[in-house]
Structure 1
Amino acid sequence: MNQPTHIRQINGSVRGALVDYVRPYPDQIRFSLNQMNGSSTWAWSLWRAPEGADLLDSIPFSDEYMQCAGTADALALEVRRLDPDGTAHQYAIGKPGGETTGEPTEVILFDEGRHSTTVYPHEVFTADEAAVVFYTYFLTDQVSQPYQLRELDLSWLTAAPETGAD
């Protein structure tokens, strides 16, 4: 049993330390991802806790993380990183050899179908495939080779709302 170093979040709201009390970390990650059914469990995120954090006292957020959404049979994976100047970039993660021309065609539904994301075919992972990517991220804070990253345009998140006034 190790001192927890990472935080996991389920469905964007339930957070806690990722622990190896029941099974080793790689098996715990795989188990968690295989529980995803798109309904009661539809999103899973992971990030490193700040150095020295007491995860029994508080569960801090991070601006850098890996996340997925969907079902154990079809997950979309993303990673968020910060540049040295603090600028955030979010990327879809894909398997090697995928083509990103044209528009993405694979629709991943989650939250009982209330939400979806559309990705390229090589960006759809099973829970077991995703567990390998997540465990490497757990160890290194990176998405390793041979996986590909496609930057997502999230400018709509920071765009000023229209007022409708002229």
Structure 2
Amino acid sequence: MKFYYTVDGKRSGEFVADVRSPKETLARLLNLMRTSERSTLLLAPIPADKDFLTYLHKEGGSPVYLQCAGTAEAMTIEWHKVDDDGQDRHYIVGRGGDHSGEPSVDIPFFDGNRTATVYPDEVFVADEATDIFFHYYETGRIPHGYELRWYDLTWPKPQP
């Protein structure tokens, strides 16, 4: 399977591991994440019959992806996928923990101009994120043992 990656929502490339192994390449990309430099990474599949540039620029890319935001020392990981019922949904990846109350950990990104607020079990460092991204790269899924929290991406409708 082929993949592409996007850094900070604007720089994309076909994911090619030629000098390093795929896992080492992912580790390098994730370890380069810094608040004021690279602060988001998206990894998405490319259909086997598609060319990367055509797929990304003419078809808009994949509706299915794994992404993270933050820094190598503290990031959130999100999985956008199509569920078994055919619905397109967005999830925050976590280890499982107490989710009573509102999320309380702020993860700044885009030079501190944006913040993701998550629960403590949903904060990852680059090493663990590398294992999750590599598993996704190999299987199209996240590893067993992690929990998903649905995150509603729909905007509230304006009140009349």
Q: Same fold (TM over 0.5)?
A: yes
Normalised TM-score (structure 2): 0.90
1:122 maps to which residue? 121
Q: How does 1:128-147 map to 2 (within 5 A)?
A: 128-147=127-146
1:16 maps to which residue? 13
Normalised TM-score (structure 1): 0.87
Encode CA deviations 1:25-60: one digit per residue, 9 max, x unaligned.
0000001000000111010000110122223x5352
Aligned partner of 1:120: which letter?
Y
Encode CA deviations 1:53-83: one digit per residue, 9 max, x unaligned.
223x535210010000000000000000113
Aligned residues: 156
Q: CA deviation at 1:7?
A: 0.5
Which 5+ residue runs of structure 1 have no aligned equivalent?
A: none
Q: CA deviation at 1:161?
A: 4.5
1:42 maps to which residue? 39
Q: Percent identity?
A: 36
Alignment partner of 1:32: what SS? Answer: helix
1 CA distance for matches of 2:26 and 2:74?
Answer: 16
Higher radius of gyration, 1 or 2? 1
Alignment partner of 1:33: what SS? Answer: helix
2 CA distance for matches of 1:86 and 1:98?
Answer: 28
Whether the 8 Å CA contact 1:17–1:59 is kept in 2: the answer is no
Runs (4+) of structure 1 moved beyond 3 Å? 83-86, 159-162
